[in-house]
Every structure is written in structure tokens, then in C-alpha cells.
Amino acid sequence: MKQIKTVCSRDCYDTCSLIASVDAAGVITSVKGDPDHPITRGFLCPRGTKDPQRIVTNRIQTPSIRSDLSGLSGGFRSLPWNSAIDTLADRLQHTIDTCGRESVLFLDYVGNQGTLSADFPKRLWNALGVTQTDGALCSRSGRHGICLHHGKAYGIKPEALLTKDLILFWGFNAKVSAAHLWRLATQARKSRGAKIVVIDPRCSETAKRADLWIQPRPETDVALAYGLMNYLKVRKGADTTFLDNHTLGFEHLAREIEQWPDERTLKVTQVNRDDFESLGDLYSGTRNSAIMIGIGIQKCDQGADQARAVSLIPAMMGIHRGFYYSNSDAYSINSGLISGKAYLTDGGDETEQVAVAEEIRKGRFKFIYINCMNPAVTVPDQSAFRQGLARQDVFCVTHDTHWSDTAKLSDLVLPAPTFYEKEDVVIPYMHPYVIKSNPVIPPLFESKTEIEVMQLIARRLGLAQVWLYEDPMEVLSRAFVDSFENGTFDDLLSGRVLTLKSSSDDTYATLSGKLELYSSTARTRGYPPLPVQGSTRTDEYDFTLLNSAIPSFTSTQFQEVFGAIPAIVHINPEQAKSLGFEENQEVIMENDQGRARVMLTLSGDVPPDVLWTPRQSLDLDDSPMNTLMSPIPQPIGNGARYNSTRVRLKPN
């Protein structure tokens, strides 16, 4: 029995180091967490432990082409790799020749976060100058909002939680979404008596284990942040020395927070007064605190403002970057070299990822190549997206490991290896620890890596750029020059765990070099210099529909193991009774975007006028829940508005 170390490359905070056991027949028999890794520390989430089962289930085994390319009704037939590449390249070249490069769409995201799986293959599409998206589907609006004030969005390192006396999870269900981060918080509570506060409209798994749960109305986080800052200023007094030395614009912020006394804050947020005062007393009682900002709070109409408002709170207590959102900005890695952008003087078109469904429906793109993404479930406005793929003048290619919803709707499907079947380097966005991801088993079936396919296409098209064919590891060695604190890229290849160098907490990449509480960058870009609490909507719809992750799934992955994501919606029991709804009743959620048929679950975890459903599920008719979601990007960062979805509810 061999044991081989590798790294989970899924879109997850934890980026775990794994130890896979492989028997003499080359079969992975088990996977466990690496006990020597500073964050993984020997345990995995339920998904990680089930990976050996998923590796061989529902896999794309051969290149496959739709039998009838005139629509989506036919099945698939296998074809050899050389025929698949010929078909792909001929269709791609024809599209470029007849409709222009801009009519080709490369659609990707973070289904695999490896630099060799997700970033290096972009070299082909950058060389061709095709249309790509802005990658704003998940977290970009929050990041852009925070950057308006801090310059970069990085903050607290995870292990710092072990030293904190107060930890706030603001819109962050860490118990489910970041198991190792949650364990660090609970260790701090056990070892030093740290208090854990959760701020969330829903009583999440994390909220149920908190010392204090604050329940604001959805989309009132700016009001709550301003109200808390006002509470700190009035009760505690702001840290004027810190504000004078390290910030700009406090006089503007002070005038704004003065407009949010307790009474107004409580009226808008509907937070219980005792809970609000407990929060204010806890936060004002120590400078040794951390605010963990969840990605979910910025997936709404005013998401960027919510994230940026929360990120300003620590400054009141004199704390540099006393928050966490994502630490990707802290590291110095030449990503342009990896993706090939460094070789270009002019790139192709860019389109908004959140709004891409309608562009596809209208036929803007004639050739679509999809990598590391399952957009036939994940993007908003699914009716438009699926109508677009069904167009006879659209040719869609998907390169994936499993028969995803998107693969089933494509014209040509290419088999990819899982991260257990190839080498890679994965950069975490929570912690700074990097270890080479080793292949545990050879590629299964007829899988080819993203780089292999990219170079096969490039050769078939006759592309002559030398940088398309460079050795990937040699490129990474140049991209990671001076990126690590404790070694070189060669040390990484030898198996050492290296620590990425991080920017200092008291450095602000703003125009002034300070934390700009009143953002000059926002003003020059036409955004409000201070976060704005928008009006909470009253319209013909009855409910705000929230969605978030559940333990057994990473986005749409792992349904091969755990079954389908439940087609359910949670409703407050008292409101259900008043409306005549019952447990396990089939209901229709609908709005102007579409409709979804789901099973009703009565749950005290959600307040009145709010519904909650698991993220990325299909309804009882196998229609994506994202059929209901708006395709209009946010003004700051172009992010999605999933948690601003308004629906009516009626019996089926």
C-alpha cells in the first residue's frame, strides 16, 4: 500500500493537503487529511473522504460527440481523440474566419483551482484573442468593494484566530463552508475563552453553535455596520490616534454613522435590541478581534457596499485589516505569465459572466469552450442559457471530468482527469501554505489534461507562438520567483510545504497609501465614496429567496456520491401556517425570470418573508433554481445578485 500526498483543488477556503492510500492494483482505497499540514491537521470534510468513490462514478470516459448536431435531443457517440480535435479545430477556425474571434467564447471558472488546470490553459484562448468573461460570478463585487478603501482585499491569516478573544462570522457559515477555519475558531474558544458571534438572517449551522447570533433582515448589513460603528463611537470612543495616522476621510464617515443611532439601526435591520447591545459591548470590549466576512453577503443588489461597510468596522478600534474576506491579493505571483497575458499587447473582448446567458441566447457566440465550470446550473437566467446552447448555430465544447449538466447539453465532450490523476500547484485563498499536488494514479479512461488539450488544439490550428508550448513547470518556476518565505520553487517540487510571502497588514495600496474610509477611488470611478444602505424592497413578491451551501456538496460536485441536491425550500412555520402551507407540500416559486417546483420544509431557521434553498440545486422538474435569478450584474464588481431574488409562493 502506497501513500501519496496531493492537494484538493476544489473551490474551497481550506485547500486541504491530502494523503491518498493506493493498493497494488493502482486503486485509491482511502483519503485522509495530512496531519503535518498547518491547516488541514489530519481531518477532512465529508466530501474529501468520499473522493475515492467519486473518482470512478459518472466519469466522461472517451471523447464524445452529439449524434445529432441540429439540436440537444440526440445522444452521444464516442470518437477517437484525433477526430475530436480535428472536429473542434475545424469548427473553431471556421467560426473565427466567418464570424470573427469575438464570436468565440472561452467560459471558465474555479471548478478546479490549480494553476495548471485553470490558468495555464488560458494561453491558447489569449493567443487567439477570443472573448472571455470577467469572472465575477462569485466573489468579485465584495473584493472590489473592499479594495475601494483598502487597496487590496486581504486580511487576517487563519491561524491568527487562535489568538483572538472575539471572532465574528458575518454572513459566513464556516461550519459548512470552511471546516478548518471553524475548527480554529472553536479551538480559540476552548483554549482562551474566545466568544464567537454569527451575523446571519438564517440560523445556520454556524449560528447554532455561536455564543451570540444576530439576525438582521436580508440586505441591511450596511445599516448594521454603520449602527455598530456609531455604537462604538458613542459608547467607546473611536481610536483617534489610529484614525489620524493611518486613515483618510474619517470626518465623512463620522457624519454618516451619526445618522445611524440605535433606534434607526434597529428599525431598519429588525435586530433585537439586547442582541445589538451585546454585540456592541463585545466588540468594544477588546481590540483583539476578527471579523470573518462571508462571500454570501455580497451576492445581492448592494453586495459590494455590504462587504466594504463591514470591512471598515475594525478601524474604529484601531485595528489594521481586522477582517478576512479572501487573501489572494496578499501574494506576489506572476499570474499573467502563467496565463500568457504577459506576452500580449492587446487582449480579446470581455463579457460579463453574470449576464452571459442572454448573450448566448441571442447568438452572440457561435463557438463556446467550457473549462472548470458547470454553467448550465450555476449562472443566472438558466432559461436563456439553455436556449442559447440549443441554437443550431452554436457549437459548445466541454472539457470535464464528469458528465455534468453542462456536458450533457454540449455538442462535443472531452474527458479530463481529476486532480488525483495529474500534477498541479494550487494557490489557496485562505491560508498561505502551498504544497505540490502530486498525481496519485495515472489518468483514468481516455482523459487528457487541460494543457495537453490546449496544445493539441494549438498544433492543429498551426499556431506558432513558442510560449504556447513551454514546459508548464518551468513557467511556474519563473512565475513564483521570490514568492515564498521559506524556500524556492525547486523546494516545492521536492515536496516541502512552503509559505507564500504576504503583504503587511499596515500597507494600503490606495492613492493615498492609507486606509481611505472615504474612498477617492470610488469617487473617481463614479461610485459613492462611502457604502450606501439601499432601500429594502417592497414589491408584488412575497419572499426574499436566499441560498447557501450544504455539507455534502461543493457547488454542483459530489451528487455522484450523495445523490441529488435536495429540491426543497425552507419557510418559517408560523408564516406557512398563516398562508395555509404544510410540511412536504409541493409548491411553486415564481417571478418574472421563471418558476421552480419544490418541496416545502417548515423550519424555524428562517424568519418570516424569507425562504432558503440549497445552493445550485435543481427543482423537482430538473430545472435549475438559478432560472429564478437575475442576470443583471451589480454596479460595483459586476457580481451576481442571487440573494436578492424575490419570489411568489403558491401551491402546485
CA angle 356, 362, 364 (to 5 degrees): 70
pTM for this entry: 0.97
Task: Find residue 371's DSSP bridge partners.
Answer: 108, 399
Residue 566, SS3 per DSSP: coil
CB 639 within 8 A of CB 303: yes
Specify the pLDDT at position 585: 98
pLDDT-based confidence at 617, cuts 50/70/90?
very high
Count of CB atoms within 10 A of residue 508's CB? 22
Reply yes or no on whether the pLDDT at 347 is more than 80: yes
CA angle 206, 37, 289 (to 5 degrees): 40
Reply yes or no on whether the pLDDT at 288 is more than 70: yes
- Give how far Cα 644 sits from Cα of 299, 352, 357, 534, 648, Å: 8, 19, 18, 12, 13
d(CA 425, CA 648) in angstroms, rounded, equals: 46
d(CA 114, CA 156) in angstroms, rounded, equals: 23
Specify the pLDDT at position 538: 66
Reply yes or no on whether the pLDDT at 236 is more than 90: no
Reply yes or no on whether the pLDDT at 191 is more than 90: yes
In the chain, helix, strand, coil percent, each to 5? Answer: 35, 20, 45
φ, ψ at 538 (rounded to 5°): -125, 120
pLDDT-based confidence at 6, cuts 50/70/90?
very high
Specify the pLDDT at position 72: 62
Specify the pLDDT at position 539: 73
pLDDT-based confidence at 220, cuts 50/70/90?
very high
Reply yes or no on whether the pLDDT at 255 is more than 70: yes
Count of CB atoms within 10 A of residue 213's CB? 20
- Beta strands per DSSP E along 392-529: 395-400, 412-415, 424-425, 433-434, 436-437, 498-499, 515-516
CB 136 within 8 A of CB 107: no
pLDDT digit string, tens, across residues 550-575: 999 999 999 999 999 999 999 999 99
CB 196 within 8 A of CB 257: no
Specify the pLDDT at position 536: 72
Reply yes or no on whether the pLDDT at 239 is more than 80: yes
Reply yes or no on whether the pLDDT at 604 is more than 70: yes
CA angle 639, 154, 205 (to 5 degrees): 70
543-651: CATH class: mainly beta
The CATH architecture annotation of domain 141-328+505-524 reads 3-Layer(aba) Sandwich (3.40)
Reply yes or no on whether the pLDDT at 71 is more than 80: no
Determine the average pLDDT of the residues in 22-34: 95
pLDDT-based confidence at 541, cuts 50/70/90?
confident
Specify the pLDDT at position 73: 63
d(CA 432, CA 434) in angstroms, rounded, equals: 7
Reply yes or no on whether the pLDDT at 495 is more than 80: yes
Buried-exposed string 369-405: b where 16+ CB fall within 10 A, e elsewhere = bbbbbbbbbbbbbbbbbbebbebeebbbbbbbbbbbb
Residue 59, SS3 per DSSP: strand
Classify the C-alpha dihedral 256-202-546-185 as positive or negative: positive
Determine the average pLDDT of the residues in 238-255: 96
Determine the average pLDDT of the residues in 259-274: 98
d(CA 323, CA 502) in angstroms, rounded, equals: 15
Reply yes or no on whether the pLDDT at 320 is more than 80: yes
- Give how far Cα 384 sits from Cα of 381, 399, 629, Å: 6, 22, 11
Specify the pLDDT at position 430: 97
Specify the pLDDT at position 104: 98
Q: What is the CATH number of domain 64-133+336-425+447-466?
A: 3.40.50.740
Identity of the amino acid at 283: Y
**What string of DSSP letters covers 529-550?**
SS---PPPP-SS--EEEEEE--
Output 71 or 491, whichever has higher pLDDT: 491
Specify the pLDDT at position 237: 86
d(CA 488, CA 476) in angstroms, rounded, equals: 11
The DSSP symbol for 235 reads I
- Give how far Cα 408 sits from Cα of 4, 337, 389, 562, Å: 33, 34, 11, 20
**What string of DSSP letters covers 353-422?**
STTHHHHHHTT--SEEEEES--HHHHSS-HHHHHHHHT-TT-EEEEEESB--HHHHT-SEEEE---GGGS
Domain extent listing, the chain: 64-133+336-425+447-466, 141-328+505-524, 543-651
CB 194 within 8 A of CB 185: yes
Reply yes or no on whether the pLDDT at 47 is more than 90: yes
pLDDT-based confidence at 465, cuts 50/70/90?
very high
Determine the average pLDDT of the residues in 200-217: 98
Reply yes or no on whether the pLDDT at 70 is more than 70: no
Determine the average pLDDT of the residues in 53-69: 93
Reply yes or no on whether the pLDDT at 537 is more than 80: no
Determine the average pLDDT of the residues in 88-102: 98
Determine the average pLDDT of the residues in 249-254: 98
Reply yes or no on whether the pLDDT at 327 is more than 80: yes
Determine the average pLDDT of the residues in 470-490: 97
pLDDT-based confidence at 108, cuts 50/70/90?
very high
Reply yes or no on whether the pLDDT at 241 is more than 90: yes
Reply yes or no on whether the pLDDT at 589 is more than 90: yes
Q: What is the mean pLDDT of the chain?
A: 96
Reply yes or no on whether the pLDDT at 138 is more than 90: yes
